[in-house]
Structure 1
Amino acid sequence: MASIERRAVDAFIKKPDAHFAVILVYGPDTGLVSERVRALVAASVDDVEDPFQLVRLDGDEISGDPARLADEVFTIPLFGGRRAVRLRAGSRNIVPTVEPVLANPPTACRVVIEAGDLKKNHALVSLVEKSRAGAVIACFGDESANIGQIIAEEVANAGLTIAPEARETLAGLLGGDRLATRSELRKLTLYAHGAGRIELSDVEAVVGDASALATDEIIDAAFSGRADLLDLTLAKAWNEGVNTSQLAGTALRHALLLHRLRGEVEKGRPAAAVVDSMGMQVHFRRRAGVSAQLSALTMARLDRIVADLSEAVLEARRNATLGQAIVARALMRIALMAKARR
């Protein structure tokens, strides 16, 4: 019975405990789910290309035959050795298929289940987590420390180094999906091949099409009371096809961050020190501006901003055709409120 804690996942994957016959990997970060499933399978067999050692099954296909998984699990390999089953969970219920395996855990075969964004109380999660023979690994978006480690790995594997400002900018642009993160990093290292070192200009030229940097400009213009700059950056964003919902969501997350940090300021800590303590969560280029926002906006005003943006996010989703106007008005209200405090 185990839900592997986030800090222990990497060590567990490298050497999974033998008594865990079924391991469920799930979560919203599909790239990370896939990466961890591949690593677990590789740790469970001697040759992943050998069809006698590794069997791949689709959950939707076998859901109507609950005995199919057990039949595969307890098949005696022709040439001996370790075996594994990689089971991809789909939309159909596979609990009746997994239950017999957990009730009578195999000793020579491991089942690794690859699933999507399940709730913690989902029947499959509960089943595996409560079994002594089961382990569960949840996969969420990478944290700053994880992103830094992945950047270091990919840059070193490419035989390159990276400038500090490039690393920090890069960390702020990555992390939503592990597969996408590695893809962007490999694209960047290929771009910088032969240069020896990745510079900030390389990151801005290659990663994420600089859309996140453009979004930061909009957010900072609004929260700094720069209505004129906000107009210009919004016009550019709409012209470039920036996603309205994502922009509104980013603005709301920024408001919530300021709200949390403002609590520290009101305890007597200097705004700049509070912002610096956030590390890579606030890009070094933005820290002075965010510190000024934190000093200018009171907790009461931030309460209003959070409520206003929350409503704007919902309204933009309900009425996509008016999404740009709804979000633009909400951001302009923030700019006017911030300007009044300057």
Structure 2
Amino acid sequence: MVAVRPADVEATLSRIDTVRPVLLLFGPDSGLVRERARAYLAKAMDGSTDPFGLIRLDGDEISGDPGRLVDEAGTVALFGGRRVISLRAGSRNIVPAVEALLAAPISDAVVVIEAGDLKRGAGLRALCEGSPRANAIVCYADSDRDLSRLIDTMTAEANIPIDRDARAELMGLLGGDRMASRGEISKLLLYAAGEPRITTEHVRAIVGDASSLALDEIADSAFAGQPAEMSTAFAKATHEGMRADIILGSVCRAGQSLHQMRLSIEQGGSPERAVESARPAIHFRRKPLVEKALRSWTVPRLVTALLSLDDALLAARRHAGLGPSIAERALLQLATQARRG
């Protein structure tokens, strides 16, 4: 088997392997597949003066003409040097073409294949993992460690330090797709250009979904029994034009999530465990308030609160002009009940 272990990926991609000229990149993170392919192709082309040295092929076209891949890899470069081929797998079967390539006596060529999330035993994956002339690298969604390394690398390259709190905030807002994460960090660096440091304010302004953060703040403050904080967050949201029924709908969904977590607690779990196992994951900034809310409410009281919120939501939709007043009153009552609890 020539499947590259995760610990060996960086070392494998750091040099061109002439013994294994075929590189298969696949996995659930399409952004990371693309990023690694670009970097490896650039490394393979390093020093080449041939403007036609890089050949891009489409998998769906190759599937109808399996011999073309071998022909392209075996063609002598116009100005000498290495022949570099980029092949992007599509919806059709390219196994016969790759099988012929691996069996052909080709020298001084590099072929990089980009594919999707191939399951273990899938034809293309099994072929490359079992060949002594190919490397197969799976590209998983970024872990916290990967995101941390990406943030540190990009901020260092831009020569803009980032505060610890801002860094933690940014990691919580980034997802598992490498290209999307890189795009968000690039946007942040552009926004903070000229500033001495990147702060949480920069992150929240340009990366975080401001409306989503505001709704979370309203719901968390209300269920945690903090009426003053809830009122401040509510005023900010309505000032920015957010509708009352949208706010109440978000708080209802937060209450339903609390209800599910509280059920698990009453079956023998703990608030901490319920928060950690919640899906989608709860941002680290919200965890203290969510845990506090879970300790303040019981399942029957949450059911009663949700029914009251539903009534307020219906009233806010029927009487749009009074919507903000109806919503604020319902949320203040919710926060007061949480404090008593």
Say yes or no: TM over 0.5: yes
Aligned match of 1:166: 166
**Structure 1 residues 295 and 7 mapped into 2: Cα distance closer, same or farther (>3 Å)?**
farther
Shift of 1:285: 2.4
1:224 CA drift (Å): 6.0
2:20 aligned residue:
20
Q: Which residue of 1 aligns with 2:313?
A: none
**How far did residue 18 of structure 1 move?**
2.7
Letter in 2 for 1:120: R
Q: 1:89–1:115: 8 Å Cα contact kept in structure 2?
A: yes
Instruction: Quickly say closer, same or farther: Cα 1:79–1:129, change in 2 above 3 A.
Output: same
Question: 1:176 aligns to what?
Answer: 176
Map Cα deviations across residues 50-69 of structure 1 (whole Å, 9 max, x no partner).
Answer: 34422111111121111000
**Conserved 8 A contact 1:168-1:283:** no
Q: Could you tell me which residue of structure 2 aligns to residue 5 of structure 1? A: 5
- Structure 1, unmatched stretches of 5+, are 302-334
Instruction: Write the distance in 2 (CA, Å) between the matches of 1:55 and 1:240.
Output: 55
CA distance in 2, matches of 1:202, 1:194: 12
Letter in 1 for 2:43: A
CA shift in 2, pair 1:74/1:224, >3 Å: farther
Partners of 2:43 and 2:106 lie apart in 1 by 16
SS in 1 for 2:113: strand
Q: What is the SS of the residue equivalent to 1:117?
A: coil
Distance (Å, rounded) in 1 between the aligned partners of 2:107 and 2:260 = 49
Query: Cα offset for 1:218?
Result: 7.8
Is 1:104 the equivalent of 2:101?
no
Tell me by how many angstroms 1:184 deviates. Answer: 1.1
Q: Secondary structure at the match of 1:2?
A: coil
CA distance in structure 2 between the partners assigned to 1:18 and 1:258 by the alignment: 58
Which residue does the alignment assign to 2:138?
A: 138
Residues 76-85 or 160-169, more deviating: 76-85
Query: Is 1:69–2:79 an aligned residue pair?
Result: no
TM-score (norm 1): 0.68
DSSP 3-state at the match of 2:209: helix
CA contact (8 A) 1:29 1:178 kept: yes
Contact kept, 8 Å, 1:184 with 1:208, in 2: the verdict is no
Partner of 1:193: 193
Aligned amino acid, residue 128 of structure 1: C
**Counterpart residue number, 2:80:** 80
How far 1:120 sits from its partner (Å)? Answer: 2.9
Read off the aligned partner of 1:163 and give its amino acid letter: D
State the distance in 2 between where 1:183 and 1:21 align.
31
Distance verdict in 2 for CA 1:101–1:261, change over 3 Å: farther
User: Does the CA contact (< 8 Å) of 1:21 and 1:102 recur in 2?
Assistant: no
Distance in 1 between residues matched to 2:123 and 2:174, nearest whole Å = 32
Gaps of 5+ in 2: 300-333
CA distance in 2, matches of 1:153, 1:93: 38
Question: Could you tell me whether the CA contact under 8 Å between 1:47 and 1:53 is conserved in 2?
Answer: no
- Supply the distance in 2 between the matched residues of 1:77 and 1:241 (Cα, whole angstroms): 61
The structure-2 alpha-carbon separation of the partners of 1:169 and 1:197, relative to structure 1 and needing over 3 Å to count, comes to same
Residue 146 (structure 1) shift: 0.8
Residue 121 of structure 2 corresponds to which residue in structure 1? 121
- Secondary structure of residue in 1 paired with 2:25: strand
Q: Give the 3 Å change call, closer, same or farther, for CA 81–291 of structure 1 in structure 2.
A: same
Query: Could you tell me how far 1:37 is from its partner in structure 2?
Result: 0.3
Return the offset for 1:194.
0.7
Aligned pair in 2 of structure 1 residues 68, 46: CA closer, same or farther (>3 Å)? same
Cα deviation 1:81-130 (Å, max 9, x = unaligned):
22221001111111111101112353311110011233333211111111
- Cα distance in structure 2, aligned partners of 1:143 and 1:120: 21
Partner Cα distance (1:196, 1:137) in 2: 39
Contact 2:67 2:97 in 1 (8 A): yes
Distance 1:93 1:21 in 2: 21
TM-score, structure 2 as length reference? 0.69
Confirm or deny: 8 A CA contact 2:23 2:112 kept in the other structure.
Answer: yes
Pair 56,153 (structure 1): closer, same or farther in 2 beyond 3 Å: same
Q: CA deviation at 1:47?
A: 4.8
| Cα distance change on mapping 1:166 and 1:82 into 2, 3 Å | same
Structure 1 residues 128 and 265: alpha-carbon distance in aligned structure 2, compared to 1, 3 A threshold: same
In structure 1, distance between residues paired with 2:104 and 2:179:
35
For 2:312, the equivalent position in structure 1 comes to: none
Q: Distance in 2 between matches of 1:241 and 1:48?
A: 57
